Amino acid sequence: MRRLEGQRVLVTGAAGGMGRAHCIRLAQEGASVIALDVAEAASALEETAQAVRELGVVAVTGSADIRDFDTLAEVVADCVKTVGGLDVVVANAGVYDTPGPVWTIDPAIWNRSLDVNLTGAWHTVKACVPHFRDGGSVILVSSTAGIKGIAGAGHYSAAKHAVVGLSRTLANELGAQSIRVNSVHPGSVRTPMIINEKVFANLCPGIENPTEADAAAVLSARNLLPVPWVDPVDVSNAVLFLASSESRYMTGCQLVIDAGLTQKV
């Protein structure tokens, strides 16, 4: 029997990157999927849903900006009604905006980072928890930037550290209802958030027009294992573990998938 047979899962930021990978991996284990993302990503979101349906399970989509609680709550309620319930929530949606020293960050960039990465995660849980009936699993996607300070990413690191505090608090508040709450902490992941020219330039300031290979060399040097990044499915496997009964007595925990980034001295 598949590990999530009969379960209903909701994933935010599902149109691509890690969100799409989570949807597909959980669907491979039998879960019905509610895939959410912003309206501008509707076409890509439908591609995610189609990939899930090809695995023989139900997929429904919903458009909402996680910063807008009222709309999000309405969309969640409609989607949960369609699939018949909710068992797992993966608060995955996030942004990594223009990097730079903390004192140079534009207030609008700072606020967007906290609004999406932190308040959006809170909104997601707030909209979803009332739909749990027989316990459940909440998985908040943080980052290695939620474990150690990352120079040049104070806005992102502050938000992702706060996600850990949110996760631990929710674990205390929801445990009596048999709802587990944990966070996952990816290092660099091979998604468009990392694989883009702006990030390459930030990683390689001494190189004109740096390539993916240049960035990979810099990132590899930061890890204990000789790789520059993990693949989205590596994070999805951790999400699957936390969603399944295999982790039934884990709550308030931080699961790190970073090729040794946070342990390297």
pLDDT at 105: 93
Average pLDDT over residues 71-97: 97
Average pLDDT over residues 74-88: 98
- Within 8 A by CB and 6+ apart from 245, the residues are 3
pLDDT in tens, 13-23: 999 999 999 99
pLDDT in tens, 112-163: 999 999 999 999 999 999 999 999 999 999 999 999 998 888 999 999 999 9
pLDDT at 100: 83
pLDDT in tens, 192-238: 888 988 888 888 988 999 999 999 999 999 999 999 999 999 999 99
Q: Is 96 a catalytic residue?
A: no
Average pLDDT over residues 175-183: 98
Q: How far apart are CA 173 and CA 71, in angstroms?
A: 25
Q: Are 139 and 243 in contact (CB under 8 A)?
A: yes
SS3 state of residue 86: strand
Q: What domains can be seen in the chain, in order of their start residue?
A: 8-187+232-263 (3.40.50.720), 195-228 (no CATH)
Give start and end residues of each alpha helix (H) in the chain: 17-28, 42-53, 69-83, 107-114, 120-128, 154-174, 197-203, 212-222, 232-243
Q: Exactly one of 66, 105, 146, 156 is catalytic; which is it?
A: 156
